[in-house]
Amino acid sequence: MQFGIKDEEFIRGKVPMTKAEIRAMVMVKAAIQPGDIVADIGAGTGSLSIEAALCCPKGAVYSIERNPEGIELIRKNAEKFGCRNIHTIAGTAPEAMEGLPKMDVIIIGGSSGNMHEILDRCEALLAPGGRIILTAVTVETTGEVVKEFADRPFELEGFEMQINRLRKLGRYHLYDPMSPIFIFTAIKH
């Protein structure tokens, strides 16, 4: 499976989207198998949901998004990429997580200030060996994640990525930096 579908391939609006290089690394860390059940919390345009759904054709992806424009973009992108295994849930986590089946992988791209409650729900939904992949773009979220996992039954690891794309300017190529992002992987004991 090749990860990191080109950003231009997705139908986009004003909703933030995880960029291709970051999606590729999130998918590597998620290690999604063909029959896995996955949740994408704060799914935005659905770019990670699409990549996840392509990895688990015999499984399912539950995309949770509170923004109505995002919900519509997830549906349009799922249709464009032929992902019939995506179930879109309009709402805010953790309330929107009620009724979800047991999960193999949970991707968290946004918490709307509900990190503690979301992680409580994730802990209940994941079997031993289940994985949470969490991205953080602010220092505050990074610190909150480290603190939140201090007393939970998870093995936590993380790293920061800084991506520079090349941008042509005349006969030169400039570095075009993207904001750094911290990627956490938490595996349940």
Is residue 18, in this structure, part of any structural domain at all? yes
**Residue 2 maps to a domain:** no
pTM for the whole thing?
A: 0.96
Q: Which domain holds residue 42?
A: 7-188
- Is residue 172 assigned to a domain? yes
Q: What angle do CA 142, 43, 137 make, to 5 degrees?
A: 25
Amino acid at 170: G
**Does residue 71 sit within a domain?**
yes
Digit-coded pLDDT (tens) for 16-41: 899 999 999 999 999 999 999 999 99
| Count of the separate structural domains present in the chain | 1
Tokens, residue 100: 């979800």
The 103-108 sheet, strands edge to edge: 86-90, 60-65, 37-41, 103-108, 126-136, 181-188, 154-161
End-to-end CA distance of the chain: 27
pLDDT along the chain (189 residues), means of 10: 89 93 97 98 97 98 97 98 98 97 96 94 96 96 96 98 95 95 97
| pLDDT value of position 112 | 87
In a domain, 1, yes or no: no
Give, in degrees to the nearest 5, the angle at Cα 145 between 165 and 14. Answer: 45
Q: What pLDDT score was predicted for residue 110?
A: 85
| Both structure tokens of 134 | 């969490």
Looking at residue 1, its pLDDT comes to 65
DSSP state at residue 6: -
Q: Is residue 25 part of a domain?
A: yes
Contacts of residue 69, defined as CB under 8 A and 6 or more positions apart, other chains included, come to 13, 14, 15
* CATH code of 59's domain: 3.40.50.150
Q: What's the pLDDT at 62?
A: 98
Question: What tokens were used for 168?
Answer: 């042509």
Task: Say how far apart CA 122 and CA 39 lie, in whole Å.
Answer: 9
Which residues, at least 6 apart from 137, have a Cβ–Cβ distance to it below 8 Å? 179, 180, 181, 182
pLDDT at 74: 98
